[in-house]
Amino acid sequence: MANTCRFRGIRASWSRMISGYMAMAVEVTNQQEQRQLWQVVDLLDRASTWESITNDPSGVWIVQPGSPLAVDDAATAPRHHLSSYSWNAITVAVDHLHCLRRSLIENSATGRPQVFLHTHAQASLLRGALENAARVIWLLGPEVRRQRVFRRLGLQAREITASDKIHKIIGATPPRTTQVRSDELRALGKAAGLTSTELKKVFNPHEFGYARIVTQAATLASLDSNLARFAWNGCSALAHGDFHATLSLLDREVVGQQDTMMLGRITMPVQLLHAAAIVSTRLIDAALSRYRECAGRQI
């Protein structure tokens, strides 16, 4: 069940979920939340512009000869170019944000936009946008090429492990063995000047976890790293359906009790949506900017 209320000419529908079969509607009138919701809408309006960039057939993703990314690509050829990996992550981030906007904002029959908040699902979309944009900034952020190559190879090593798991689940054999793919990464690392210690770290998944990636990317994007970690951790927990996140992050109100079960009304807090939208859009902006610098192009 949804409740509809007016926000400066916008009708905002707030979905509510109650344990069991119940659903109740509560009108939200907090002025700060109204302002934050409008700010989120304004931020997500940029998703349309970014989508046109990532869908543009003119080739804005093409790397200029002699640019830093061109040299990076040569160092990771032929399979692990930093440019294609980074641009793919940018398009994935934009796709998540565009989908979020479509799930959040809908035009009514009267032409007025309606805003719909979900308790958990939109956190998944924000997480996807945030993680992919952060990964681009983190990957292309170092000024030293060897470090960029090291990070690219480390991310690829994680994909080898993930790919092997999928092949095992479906009972298939990868086209190239784990050893062949791992040896390829080691050879590229040696050619790029990685030390023996760095080559070992390439295959240590803890070196390439998202907690580190998001924190460092936020710093590179001149964002508060604590805000970025809050947005990422909060959205990840809600995406997983973690019960602690439902209890601690979502707005909730006890509305009754049936036997030993407490009935509660839960709602996505506008504050978390607001924080995650700020972080995601700032990171996508920074990712596009860094790609432009490294590729030698104007985006």
Domain membership of residue 129 as a residue range = 2-140+210-295
Helix (H) or strand (E) run with residue 274 in it: helix 270-295
Is residue 248 domain-resident? yes
Q: Token digits for 204?
A: 């240590």
Identify the band that residue 297 occupies on the pLDDT scale cut at 50, 70 and 90: low
Q: Which two tokens stand for residue 11?
A: 């009708």
Residue 236 in any domain: the answer is: yes
Please check whether residue 154 lies inside any domain of the structure: no
* Tally of domains within the chain: 1
Confidence band for 29, pLDDT divided at 50, 70 and 90 = low
Q: Looking at the domain assignment, is residue 52 inside a domain?
A: yes
pLDDT in tens, 167-207: 999 999 999 999 999 999 999 999 999 999 999 999 999 99
Residue 187 lies in a domain: no
pLDDT digits (tens, 9 = 90+) for 101-110: 999 887 666 6
Q: Could you say which DSSP state residue 229 is in?
A: H
Burial of residue 225 (number of CB atoms within 10 Å: 0-12, 13-18, 19+): middle
- Asked whether the beta carbons of 155 and 209 are under 8 A apart, the reply is no
Question: 147, 195 in Cβ contact below 8 A?
Answer: no
User: What is the distance, to the nearest Å, from the Cα of residue 256 to the centroid of all Cα atoms in its chain?
Assistant: 37
**Token match 């993930």: residue?**
162
Asked if residue 116 lies in contact with residue 106, where contact means CB atoms within 8 angstroms, the answer is yes
| Alpha-carbon span 280 to 233, nearest angstrom | 13
| pLDDT reading at 114 higher than 90 | no
What average pLDDT does range 246-264 have in this prediction?
76
Q: Is the dihedral of CA 228, 230, 231, 236 positive or negative?
A: positive
Given pLDDT bands bounded at 50, 70 and 90, which one contains residue 250?
confident
